[in-house]
Structure 1
Amino acid sequence: MEHAETTLDEPETTTGIFRSLHTPRELFGRTFTLRQVVFALFLIFCLTPWASPPIALALGLVLAQTVGNPFTSHTKAFTHKLLQFSVIGLGFGMNAHAAVQAGKEGILFTVVSIFGTLFLGYFVGKWLGLSKHVVHLISCGTAICGGSAIAAIGPVLRAKDEEMSVGLGTVFVLNAIALFAFPPIGHALHMSQNQFGLWCAIAIHDTSSVVGAAAAYGNQALEVATTVKLARALWIIPVAIGTAMIFKQKGVKISIPYFIFGFILAMLFNTFAPAYIPAAKALGPVMVNLAKIGLTVTLFFIGAGLSAKVVSSVGIRPYVLGVLLWVVISTTSLYVILHAV
């Protein structure tokens, strides 16, 4: 579950075109800059039917690497809530019976992959000489649900801001790669909708990128991926409790992803309400369409927060840890899914 916490620094170059983009202008009594106009145009495009999650992420990345995000604090605050509402909206397009079946198929993969990733992360991180906090944050982000897991586990660890930034920066970069790479791999391997959805849920960190990649593959893949990923996200709670015990942290507050229960209620409403409320059947497609638009905008905001400075500030060793864990969980789960599902 995507949680954009990275900080975007303003571009250092303010000469030529950059100075023009940053220069305040006035129109109809309102002050604006050209880069704000660029941001607005990109955002408006993300609201149209021509935009897709990968395109939105790409536009955000282009913005971040060129003119910069002029509304960093706003997008940072808005991304988390927008993702939550989008996930709840997707529940209006899902069937509870199919979701239960998908959850049963994914639970064994979930348990094995979570604990296997945490175990492997500990030893690889120790070999790389990284701090225990950074290792645990990246491992939890890889094992459970990316930025949301890091945001929940960080306060339990009493992690420093720079440790949180390293963990978040690592998983967000890998998320961006996965969103573009996974659908072509799935098609090349002729994966079924069910197989691809399950693979996304296990091998991609954040819910936003999981849903984005699965949506690009097909509706059934989207249903499987969302259900399994959200069930996986509930593991934040026991892992947070275990973290507090292992790191001997007392009196810490554990963040519970309550929005997942909103997704479940929406799914139950979509499954059972139409039999009693005829108008409920028409509500589902509207809510799902709004949810997909919300997800597309979410990924645009996330991409806009990944400037070159954010990426480079992480350092090489955390990326090595993140990539190794990601490669192991991706290839292992892919092999098992292709041969067992």
Structure 2
Amino acid sequence: MFQQSVETSKSVLNFNSHDAIARALPGVGACVAIAGVAYGLRMLPGVHDFSPMIIAIALGILIRNTIGTHAALTVGIGFSMRRLLRLAIILLGVQLTFGQVAETGVRGVAIILAAVGTTFLFTLAVGRLIGADPRLTRLIAAGTSICGASAVAAANSVVDAHDEDVAYAVACVTVFGSIAMFAYPLLQGALDLAPRDYGLWAGASIHEIAQVVAATFAVGREAGDFGTVAKLTRVMTLAPMVFAMAAFLPSLGDATSERAKVPLPWFALGFIALVAVNSVVAIPPAIKADTSVVSTFLLTMALAAMGLETSIAKLKAKGMKPALTGALASLFIASLSLILVRLT
């Protein structure tokens, strides 16, 4: 059913005609509505620390598995999941500069790169060892090692997994990232890390940007500022990682194991280009702020669309092996980052 929906989306997503636009509008409108509700729910007590993306995919799953989704929404859902997602990731580049990497310092960059690369490979190895689904394992590896839900969604552009896999991976990074968000400030008392070291540890290991902000500013402004910069530096590895997945990971097709049969993620070049522009041109803060709002909202729409295509029955069929993979990966990146901070 899902594959049929995707093929239908691809066949009509030629936006050179008014008819194609009209076909997409209902689904896009539904994703806009869910994203708007997700932003509204964030205003409730206890929900503010969760990104609107997480709330949106949860709402989408709830709608899909209770009242269902009408066939008229199929085209717009597909458009939101793919084209709007890629546009959102490109726009993320406006928030980053190569100067932020310099602020992190050679030590910080080395720790972040080591944590990202090693955790990605560790997650693939663990997933293979315990027999977790390989596509789902790759999504969990990207989300855990880089930046949570955004990385999961971006990685799926080359993994090409089912939306249930995306939802499962997002759930993993949300649950374990949230645990870290509450646990890190408590552990700080026992570890007695300097504020910048604590910020580096959190920025190099906690999954979502919002989770890093919450965990670091709970300790103090210096830890919060440095943790945010460290996390943004980690986000900058998103584009190279997606390219590496496309170029070096073997195909998961049934007929062949040849490499790199997936299309190259060209949207990642747009991301890098905007980072470069932002590094050499003084983009006004107001424009950067507006772009951040647009990018986050588009990502929220994309995750809402994925939720609308997600079946809970299929999620249950995945079993606990992927969840165990995500738990071990999260524990690994937290431990490795802390060890590297301590040793250096």
TM-score (norm 1): 0.62
Q: Distance in 1 between matches of 2:29 and 2:265?
A: 35
Partner of 1:146: 152
User: Is residue 265 of structure 2 the alignment partner of residue 269 of structure 1?
Assistant: no
**Against the structure 1 CA distance between its residues 69 and 7, is the aligned structure 2 distance closer, same or farther, given a 3 Å change threshold?**
farther
| Contact kept? 1:58, 1:303, Cα under 8 Å | no
**Against the structure 1 CA distance between its residues 90 and 168, is the aligned structure 2 distance closer, same or farther, given a 3 Å change threshold?**
closer
Please point out which of 61, 73, 78 is paired with 1:64.
61
1:76 positional shift: 4.5
1:46 positional shift: 4.2
**Against the structure 1 CA distance between its residues 300 and 188, is the aligned structure 2 distance closer, same or farther, given a 3 Å change threshold?**
farther
Per the alignment, in what secondary structure is the counterpart of residue 36 of structure 2? helix
- Per-residue CA deviations over 1:105-149 (Å, capped at 9, x if unaligned) read 2344434553455256436633x3457676667556655643433
Please point out which of 328, 332, 339 is paired with 1:336.
339
1:311 positional shift: 2.3
State the one-letter code of the partner of 1:249: S
State the one-letter code of the partner of 2:113: T
Q: Distance in 1 between matches of 2:139 and 2:341?
A: 30
State the one-letter code of the partner of 1:114: G
Per the alignment, in what secondary structure is the counterpart of residue 54 of structure 1? coil
**Against the structure 1 CA distance between its residues 133 and 259, is the aligned structure 2 distance closer, same or farther, given a 3 Å change threshold?**
closer
1:281 positional shift: 5.2
Partner of 1:54: 50
Identity over the aligned pairs, expressed in percent? Answer: 14
| Contact kept? 1:203, 1:330, Cα under 8 Å | yes
1:197 positional shift: 7.0
1:234 positional shift: 0.8
Per the alignment, in what secondary structure is the counterpart of residue 237 of structure 2? helix
User: Is residue 35 of structure 2 the alignment partner of residue 43 of structure 1?
Assistant: yes
Please point out which of 318, 326, 331 is paired with 2:330.
326
| Contact kept? 2:112, 2:234, Cα under 8 Å | no
What does 1:152-167 align with in structure 2 at a 5 Å threshold? 152-153=158-159, 167=165
1:313 positional shift: 2.2
Partner of 1:17: none
1:223 positional shift: 4.5
Q: Distance in 1 between matches of 2:163 and 2:296?
A: 28
1:312 positional shift: 0.7
| Contact kept? 2:153, 2:166, Cα under 8 Å | yes
**Against the structure 1 CA distance between its residues 202 and 176, is the aligned structure 2 distance closer, same or farther, given a 3 Å change threshold?**
same
Please point out which of 242, 252, 262 is paired with 2:248.
242
User: Is residue 295 of structure 2 the alignment partner of residue 291 of structure 1?
Assistant: yes
Please point out which of 111, 118, 121 is paired with 2:121.
118
Partner of 2:8: none
Partner of 1:78: 80
Q: Distance in 2 between matches of 1:201 and 1:195?
A: 10
- Per-residue CA deviations over 1:137-188 (Å, capped at 9, x if unaligned) read 755665564343354246xxxxxx6xx5675454222023245434333444
Partner of 1:96: 98
State the one-letter code of the partner of 2:296: K
What does 1:161-180 align with in structure 2 at a 5 Å threshold? 167-178=165-176, 180=178
Task: Identify which range, 320-329 or 244-253, moves more after superposition.
Answer: 244-253
State the one-letter code of the partner of 2:320: I
Q: How many residues align?
A: 292
Partner of 2:321: 317
Q: Distance in 1 between matches of 2:61 and 2:134?
A: 31
State the one-letter code of the partner of 2:170: F
Partner of 2:236: 230
- Per-residue CA deviations over 1:165-224 (Å, capped at 9, x if unaligned) read 6754542220232454343334444585885576455453xxxxx344346567844553
The runs of 5 or more residues in structure 1 that have no matched partner are 9-32, 155-160, 205-209
Per the alignment, in what secondary structure is the counterpart of residue 280 of structure 2? helix
TM-score (norm 2): 0.62
**Against the structure 1 CA distance between its residues 100 and 270, is the aligned structure 2 distance closer, same or farther, given a 3 Å change threshold?**
same
1:251 positional shift: 6.8
Task: Identify which range, 52-61 or 241-250, moves more after superposition.
Answer: 241-250
- Per-residue CA deviations over 1:290-340 (Å, capped at 9, x if unaligned) read 23333444444455555532421212333333332333233433x236636
The runs of 5 or more residues in structure 2 that have no matched partner are 6-25, 218-223
| Contact kept? 1:234, 1:257, Cα under 8 Å | no
**Against the structure 1 CA distance between its residues 340 and 323, is the aligned structure 2 distance closer, same or farther, given a 3 Å change threshold?**
same
| Contact kept? 2:93, 2:271, Cα under 8 Å | yes
